[in-house]
Amino acid sequence: MKKIFNLLLLVVALYLGWKFVDWAVLRAVWQPDPALCRASTGACWGFIVEKHRLIAFGTYPYEEHWRPALASILLVALWMLSAWRRFWKPRLILIWAAGLTAIGILMWGGVFGLPYVENERWGGLILTLLLTTFGLAFAFPLGILLALGRRSELPLVRALCVAYIELIRGVPLISVLFMASVMLPLFLPAGVSVDKLLRAQIALILFAAAYLAEVVRGGLQAIPKHQYETADALGLGYSQKTFLIVLPQALRIAVPPLVNTCIGFFKDTSLVLIIGLFDLLSTIKVALNDPAWTGFGVEAYLFAALVYFVFCFAMSRYSRSLESGAGTTATLR
Amino acid sequence: MVQGLAAALFIAAAAYLVFNTLANLEARRIASGFAFLWREAGFEIGESAFLAYGAADSYAKALAVGLANTFKVALLGIVFATVLGTAIGLLPLSRNPILRGLGATYIEFIRNVPLLVQLFFWYALSTEALPPPREALSPLSGVFLTNRGIFFPTFSGAPELQGFNFSGGGSLSPEFVTLLVGLSLYTAAFIAEIVRAGVMAVPREQWLAARALGLEERHVLRHVVAPLALRVIIPPLTSQYLNLTKNSSLAVAIGYPDLVSIANTTINQTGQAIEGIAIIMAVYLTISLAISALMNWSNARLR
């Protein structure tokens, strides 16, 4: 009975797998020709071929596409470098500073003979990567402060931090993005304006900080009490105790869940589409608006899924390898 | 001392923002307050759960319709995601390698792709792959799958093709189906992980002891493993329910008229952004706190 069930299951799985391969590969059209695509019963990857520039770079000036391309490669390289335990040294901050300066010069231009490109024209993959990078870079310190504040002995500080964290975690990201895009201009004095990209970035930072704070708090809670007591016995003050003894250990414990939060955040940046920013998902949606190419949404979004999957899967594998190789954290307890 | 500083900073920042906002509202001649809620909304809403609504109704009514739509999709989504997630979560425990592989693949794919991409994908699939009403698929007699939605018979009547679409009977819009399917499949992957971890957390000795007592396998699960596993499962499950409810706000991207979508229209029409966003946030915070309270209560009863 069990054998028959297994066989049946295998047959169904193989059949569905075959149907998919047949559609996605064997009968697929790779030429960028909408007429051929409409005549075919297979997938139309020609759409991606035709629109790959728009999807990857948005409305960035066509002749300058090498700049966001190079910037994306640089940014991914920086991420990969930071994943390497050997580089977890203060020097890493300098490397990042240099890397981000180079990316800034590449993207904006205006120096070294590169034409200036305003950030309204940035789009595609680089925007997704930049929103993630800067979002995490600013949200992380803010999250640490919030986590420390939540565990503070000062009731007022604690209350403010708890209120902030719970408020942000209790509402959807969209409402925070809406708030930033329509309310932020109202909050600022007359004459001061913040562009759309920066508004979305601020919203993402404020949102991510609340979630990172909870992860860091988890790490802080895992620190045995005697670590605090020993630090007190040595006569260390609050800041020395926190930054030399407690935080380094807490962050080390919290690395795997932090990576998971980063994956979630990377996925969440796709929501900026709703407030009209041209991230990777948004450029794909725009590409579909071309009347010649309407009706290939399935292929387009499968492609989007694949791109996001590659990034997220790599990060989740990394997080898992950290978890299994986390010998340093085990010895702490 | 630090507290005083924190309080002073907070009050100063708040005062600064309020002052700026008031000045800006004045300059842009935007009204404030919630009086707009009783004015006529003037827009139609594609679908409405439980409430009858027309364009002549007030903004308050429109928002209530949005809230009802949010509840409808979130509650059904929670039910489907729980059932599916539990089933998938138990797969890795089976001795069948094919089932195990399928479960793991599902979880890996769904978790590593943004929900918004998945929603767009399902929406594209439902509008591009399904036929128009005239060539509707009919998997069961009386039930029709089309790119305009799903039509099915109810006690009051059966769907019939009239002109270019079906009328009569019950129907589900493509937007609603997309959102429900997307949310359920997405959350199910997370619930599956939670269920798996919960069952794995039950010590092996509990299984062995229960079997040694001569209990049948299903009784072992029902009376020994499940009660122990549920204690581990319920707290993270609660946060998944909350996530699903919050994620239902992505409805605005595919055109399902949930609370956020209606509030967004309201903001665009009245310009009263602060009030609109305050309503969204207040509603979600209330839901969050209510679900947390409910789950804490049920968790306390289990112990």
d(CA A37, CA B168): 37
Question: By C-alpha distance, which of A124, A127, A10, A103 is closest to A58?
Answer: A124
* Residue B134 DSSP code: G
Chain A, 235-294: which have a CB under 8 Å from a chain B CB? Answer: 263, 267-268, 270-271, 273-274, 281, 285
Tell me what pLDDT residue A328 has. 47
In the numeric block, which tokens belong to residue A32? 């960028």
pLDDT band (50, 70, 90) for residue B302:
low
Chain B nearest CA to A43, separation (Å) = 12
The answer to whether the CB atoms of A154 and B99 lie below 8 A apart is no
Query: In the structure, what pLDDT confidence band is assigned to residue B76 with cuts at 50, 70 and 90?
Result: very high
CB-CB neighbors (< 8 A) of B118 in chain A: 305
Dihedral (Cα; B19, B22, B23, B27), 10-degree rounding = 170
For position B180, what pLDDT does the model report? 93
Amino acid B121: pLDDT: 92
- Closest-CA residue of chain B to A285: B120
Q: Which two tokens stand for residue A74?
A: 């640089």
Sequence-separated (6 or more) residues with CB below 8 Å from residue A94: none
Contact A251/A222 with Cβ under 8 angstroms? no
* pTM assigned to the model: 0.87
Output the pLDDT for position A329: 44
Of A174, A190, A308, the CB nearest to B113: A308
Cβ pair A244, A290 in contact under 8 A: no
> Residue ranges of chain A with pLDDT lower than 70?
1-2, 325-333
Picking from A78, A133, A156, the residue whose alpha carbon sits closest to that of residue A279 is A133
HSE-CB for B56 with a 13 A CA cutoff: 0
Residue A331's pLDDT is: 40
Q: State the Cα–Cα distance between residues A80 and B103, nearest whole angstrom.
A: 29
Quote helix, strand, coil % in chain B, to nearest 5: 70, 5, 20
Q: In this structure, what DSSP letter does residue B132 have?
A: P
Please say if the pLDDT value at position B115 is more than 90: yes
| pLDDT single digits (tens) B164-190 | 677 766 778 888 989 999 999 999 999
Min Cα separation A76/chain B (Å): 18
pLDDT at B47 over 70: yes
- End-to-end CA, chain B: 43
For the stretch A252-270, pLDDT in tens is 888 888 888 888 899 999 9
Enumerate the residues of chain B whose CB falls inside 8 A of the CB of residue A186: 20-21, 24-25, 273-274
The structure tokens listed for B249 are 């706000």
Amino acid letter for position A101: T
Whether A183 and B129 lie within 8 Å, measured CB to CB: no
Cα within 13 Å of Cα(A36), Cβ side: 12
∠A294-A297-A298 over CA atoms, to 5°?
A: 140
Q: How far apart are CA A137 and CA A259, in angstroms?
A: 13
User: Which pLDDT does position A3 carry in this prediction?
Assistant: 76
As a three-state string, the secondary structure of chain A is CHHHHHHHHHHHHHHHHHHHHHHHHHCCECCCCHHHHHHCCCCECHHHHHHHHHHHHCCCCHHHCHHHHHHHHHHHHHHHHHHCHHHCCCHHHHHHHHHHHHHHHHHHCCCCCCCCCCHHHCCEHHHHHHHHHHHHHHHHHHHHHHHHHHCCCCHHHHHHHHHHHHHHHHCCHHHHHHHHHHHHHHHCCCCCCCCHHHHHHHHHHHHHHHHHHHHHHHHHHCCCHHHHHHHHHCCCCHHHHHHHHHHHHHHHHHHHHHHHHHHHHHHHHHHHHHHCCCEHHHHHHHHHCCHHHCCCHHHHHHHHHHHHHHHHHHHHHHHHHHHHCCHHHHCCC
Chain A, nearest residue to B13 by Cα: A187
What is residue B249's three-state secondary structure? Answer: helix
Looking at residue A233, what is its pLDDT? 87
Considering only alpha carbons, which residue of chain A is nearest residue B241? A170
Nearest alpha carbon to residue B166 among B186, B138, B184, B144: B144
pLDDT at B187: 94
SS3 (DSSP) at B137: strand
Tokens for B258, please give them. Answer: 């949930």
Pair B183, B196: CB distance under 8 Å: no
Q: Which of B182, B226, B188, B230 is nearest to B207 (CA)?
A: B226
Contact B179, B73 (CB under 8 A): yes
Q: What average pLDDT score do residues B4-33 get?
A: 79
What percentage of chain A has pLDDT greater than the value 70?
A: 96
Provide the β-strand partners of residue B58.
Answer: B40
Angle (nearest 5°) at CA B123 between B122 and B126:
85
Whole-number average pLDDT of chain B: 83
Confidence at residue B164, expressed as pLDDT on a 0 to 100 scale: 66
**For residue B230, what pLDDT band results from cuts at 50, 70 and 90?**
confident
- β-strand B160-162 against B165-167: which pairing, if any? antiparallel
Residue A333: per-residue pLDDT: 36
Of A274, A296, A316, the CB nearest to B253: A274
Q: Which residue has the tokens 């299994």?
A: A324
- CB-CB: which of A6, A160, A179 is closest to B6? A160
CA distance A44 to A27: 9
CA distance, residue B238 to nearest chain A CA (Å): 13
CB B48 within 8 A of CB B69: yes
Note the pLDDT tens digit of each residue in A160-218.
888 898 889 889 999 999 888 887 877 777 777 778 888 889 999 999 999 999 889 88
Q: Which residue has the tokens 């909350």?
A: B242
Quote the tokens at residue A37.
């695509």
Which chain A residues in 173-212 lie under 8 Å from chain B, judged by CB atoms? 173-175, 178-179, 182-183, 185-190
Residue from A150, A171, A261, A274 whose CB has the most chain B CBs within 10 Å, to mutate: A171
